[in-house]
Amino acid sequence: KAEDGSHAWLRYAPVPNPNGYRSLPSTIVALNSSKSSPVYTAGQELQKGIKGIFGKSLSINDTGKGPSSVVVGTAEAYKKNYGEFDEADALDEDGFFLSIEERRVRIIGQNQRAALYGAFEYLSRLAQANFSLVSYVSNPHAPIRWVNEWDNLDGSIERGYAGPSIFFRDGYVMENVTRAAEYARLLASIRVNGIVINNVNANAALLNERNIAGLGRLADAFRPYGVQLGISLNFASPQDFGGLPTFDPLDPTVDVWWANVTNKIYSRVSDFAGFLVKANSEGQPGPLTYNRTLADGANMFARALKPHGGIVMFRAFVYDHHLTPSNWKNDRANAAVEFFKDLDGKFDDNVVVQIKYGPIDFQVREPPSPLFSALRKTNTAIELQVTQEYLGHQDHLVYLAPMWKEILEFDLRVDNRPSKVKDIISSARFNRPLGGSAAVVNVGTNTTWLGSHLAMSNLYAYGILAWNPAAQAEDIIRDWIRLTFGFNRQVLDTVTEMSMKSWPAYENYSGNLGVQTLTDILYTHYGPNPASQDNNGWGQWTRADSVSIGMDRTVKNGTGNAGQYPPEIAMMFENIETTPDNLLLWFHHVPYTQRLKSGKTVIQHFYDAHYEGAATAQTFVTMWESLKGKIDEQRYDEVLFEQVYQAGHALVWRDSINQFYYNMSGIPDQAKRVGNH
């Protein structure tokens, strides 16, 4: 039967051998749930899921001691009805206890949304025909697990590849919030607890009366799923929208203005999550306009939010996009540390500095941002992208969990001690009260949410990793495939193989050795355009000339960026011999004839990698074709279309990049594929 992808991984398709599950409970007990509470939602979801998976209709009660029931509720409600339970003390905020016994299932959340997370977890097991009896507590790695949407009020989406906004149209929040609610449901199932609904290049008109009423509607749609609403703000709003003569963060009238706006939002959205702010970046206004610090700017919002319990996500993506390339020492990668390091400890407790995973901008390969190691007395969160801005716009299959894992597991060795990025963004390393992750997702009205069926594995993986960064990329994709495409073994193995090969393939046919993606950076961020990197103010330079390539980020001779890392890491990146090949050109400027650890020269590696990556992309087509008849026709055809396109575009990538560097260097390809032979 045709499937359009709108249910994503929440299809609740029938399992092949339901008899494997001997003791399906006969009722659902959703404890003390009022309509629109997440526990109520959990009850509905269990009912729907069990109906879909087993074809069995269960009734829902809100209290009960039935002998064979699925009980879902908060710890508090559970205790009231059934008495103490041992695991109660082990529950952190948003954590849940799941116990599956022969004739009883208990799903107990530390709070309402946690109970819903537990219900989704139980259903995910059932939907994967995993009927084992288990009992465990699952707690989140960090409290902030948000998504960011770069939706504009006119309904367009910056760097969105799945059609127009599901939140806005013609300047206003949409009347119909059905799809927004469906999105919140998807997010709750992967334990995302906040959505910032508008573009960080923010339009202050979001703060008008009609839109604030609209925010209320959206928050009402999200609330049953335990997802909180947040918004991006334009720093100049007091002036541009409020009519004040200034937006100076230290001007008391500005403070009062923000407090009023914030109060107004909270009077409509009592559980409002907070603000996301892009300031002094790419032409956006900010505190630096008034010679105030970035901390002054962030704390202004923090003060307004504090009485309500809200938080400020303040982006670290602050840099000068008019850098002069002729200065060898200029380096955009240095900006975040330069702007923020002296402010460590100066941010209010409800400010979180949101840091892109790498020092530049969502490239196919970057080291972790050094800022993670420089802020020890500041809450931090990592910013990832599900939307494939530089990674093929969802026209290319690029499963991102392996890339995110490399960053999250990277040990920055702060004070020569274990300091993995994942432990810095949680409280583990610096004992900060807040922290976590945000991912730019940019879903749109396309039925597949992201414009491609396979791209949804990235959204799924994001949620799983935000909850538990120790999860393995391959385990995540296998769960996702079973939930998305069912139980066929060949489908499982084939889509796993394609996915696991996809990021390395994309890296191979785009930018290698840490030189960056080599896509067009001036307009589309799509397709090969190595020439666009250099000789402009954006600072995504490769510094390629006829003999050499790469950014010299050493302390001894370059921009000093390597020295922004803690000593052990700085030393590793300072020296060519100890820099991993895949970041060689990120940190070093070398001749094309430089030998890699593999023994190949840089230029020969470019040529070979491009052939290899493009060849891998061709195999995705045949691999997918081998699944014909094993997947519903609609999704089979739609994915095939994408894979054929990717295969072709990979060849365009291969030949453009190889020809470009052949022309630049004049060095022939040893295998005689590149150039005029």
Question: What is the set of active-site residues?
Answer: 282, 361, 389
Would you tell me how many other CB atoms lie within 10 Å of the CB of residue 91? 20
Q: Which is nearer to ligand GCW, 198 or 262 (CB)?
A: 198
State how far the alpha carbon of 633 is from the alpha carbons of 82, 341, 396, 484, 564, in Å: 48, 54, 20, 14, 52
- To the nearest whole angstrom, how small is the minimum distance from the Cβ of residue 440 to ligand GCW? 7
Looking at the Cβ atoms of 278 and 501, the one nearer to ligand GCW is: 278
Residue 361 interacting with ligand GCW (CB under 6 A): yes
Write down the least CB distance from residue 241 to ligand GCW, Å: 19
| Interface map 297-326 toward ligand GCW (x if CB under 6 A) | --------------------x---------
Q: Whole-number minimum distance, CB 354 to ligand GCW, in Å? A: 10
Give Cα separations from 435 to 197, 381, 442 (angstroms): 20, 5, 22
Site for ligand GCW in 535-564 (CB under 6 A): none
Residue type, 392: G
CA distance 423 to 460: 21
CB of 665 to ligand GCW, least distance (A): 29
Q: Which is nearer to ligand GCW, 117 or 362 (CB)?
A: 362
Q: Smallest distance from the beta carbon of 463 to ligand GCW, in angstroms?
A: 21
Nearest to 379 by CA among 305, 288, 440, 314: 314
Q: Which is nearer to ligand GCW, 389 or 552 (CB)?
A: 389
DSSP secondary structure of 400-448 = -HHHHHHHHT-B--GGGS--BHHHHSSSTTT--S-EEEEEE----SSTT
Q: Which residue in the set 7, 79, 104, 159 belongs to the binding site for ligand GCW (CB under 6 A)?
A: 159
**Tokens describing residue 578:** 């100890």
Calpha distance 582→591 (Å, rounded):
16
d(C-alpha 563, C-alpha 222), whole Å? 44
Place of tokens 């009609």: 210
CA-CA distances (angstroms) from residue 677 to 351, 664, 674? 60, 17, 8
State in angstroms the smallest separation of the CB of 539 from ligand GCW: 12
Nearest CB to ligand GCW, comparing residues 159 and 292? 159
Q: How far is the CB of 348 from ligand GCW (least distance, A)?
A: 23
User: Which value, in Å, is the radius of gyration of the alpha carbons in the chain?
Assistant: 25
CB of 437 to ligand GCW, least distance (A): 15
Told to check if 386 binds ligand GCW by CB under 6 A, we report no
Q: Which of 193, 200, 45 is nearest to 126 (CA)?
A: 45
Residue of minimal Cβ distance to ligand GCW: 361
The span from the CA of 134 to the CA of 146, in Å, is 29
Q: Which is nearer to ligand GCW, 77 or 157 (CB)?
A: 157
Which residues neighbour 578 within 8 Å (Cβ) at sequence distance 6 or greater? 571, 572
Quote the tokens at residue 195.
Answer: 């959505």
Nearest to 467 by CA among 138, 118, 136, 10: 138
Number of residues that bind ligand GCW (CB under 6 A): 10
Euclidean distance between CA atoms 92 and 577, whole angstroms: 45
Cα separation, 388 vs 150, whole angstroms: 13
278 binds ligand GCW (CB under 6 A): yes
- Pick the closer one to ligand GCW by CB: 202 or 300: 202
Structure tokens at 525: 């961020």
Site mask, ligand GCW, residues 388-427, x = CB under 6 A?
A: -x--------------------------------------
- For 370-410, the DSSP string reads THHHH-SSSEEEEEEESS-TTTTTTTS----HHHHHHHHT-
First to last CA, the chain: 51
- Cβ 298 to ligand GCW shortest distance, Å: 16
Helix (H, G, I), strand (E, B) or coil at 262: helix
Among the listed residues 15, 98, 184, 200, the single contact to ligand GCW using CB under 6 A: 200
Closest distance of CB 140 from ligand GCW, Å: 25
- Residue 317 or 340: the one with the smaller Cβ distance to ligand GCW is 317
Q: Min. distance of Cβ 333 from ligand GCW in angstroms? A: 14
* Residue 654 CB contacts under 8 Å (≥ 6 apart), including other chains: 509, 610, 611, 613, 614
- Per CB under 6 A, 150 contacts ligand GCW: yes
Nearest alpha-carbon partner for 80 in 104, 99, 62, 96: 62
**Which residues contact residue 128 at a Cβ distance below 8 angstroms, ignoring those fewer than 6 apart?**
479, 482, 483
- Of 361 and 552, CB closest to ligand GCW: 361
Q: Which is nearer to ligand GCW, 52 or 287 (CB)?
A: 287
CB 117 within 8 A of CB 94: yes
Give the residue with the Cβ less far from ligand GCW, 453 or 525: 525
Cβ nearer to ligand GCW, comparing 386 with 590? 386
- Looking at the Cβ atoms of 317 and 653, the one nearer to ligand GCW is 317
CA distance 567 to 258: 42
In angstroms, give the least distance from the CB of 23 to ligand GCW: 50
Can you read off the two tokens belonging to residue 64? 């009960």
| Of the candidate residues 158, 338, 474, 534, the single one contacting ligand GCW (CB under 6 A) | 158
Residue 235 binding ligand GCW, by CB under 6 A: no
CA–CA dist 547, 525 (Å, integer): 27
Minimum distance of ligand GCW from residue 436's CB (angstroms): 18
Give the CA count within 13 Å in the CB-facing half-sphere of 29: 22
Q: What is the dihedral of CA 424, 430, 431, 432, to 10 degrees?
A: -70
Site string for ligand GCW, 93-132 (x = CB under 6 A): ----------------------------------------
User: Are 142 and 466 in contact, with CB atoms under 8 Å apart?
Assistant: yes
Tell how far CA 413 is from the center of its chain. 24
SS3 category, 274 = strand
Contact positions vs ligand GCW (CB under 6 A)? 150, 158-159, 200-201, 278, 317, 361-362, 389
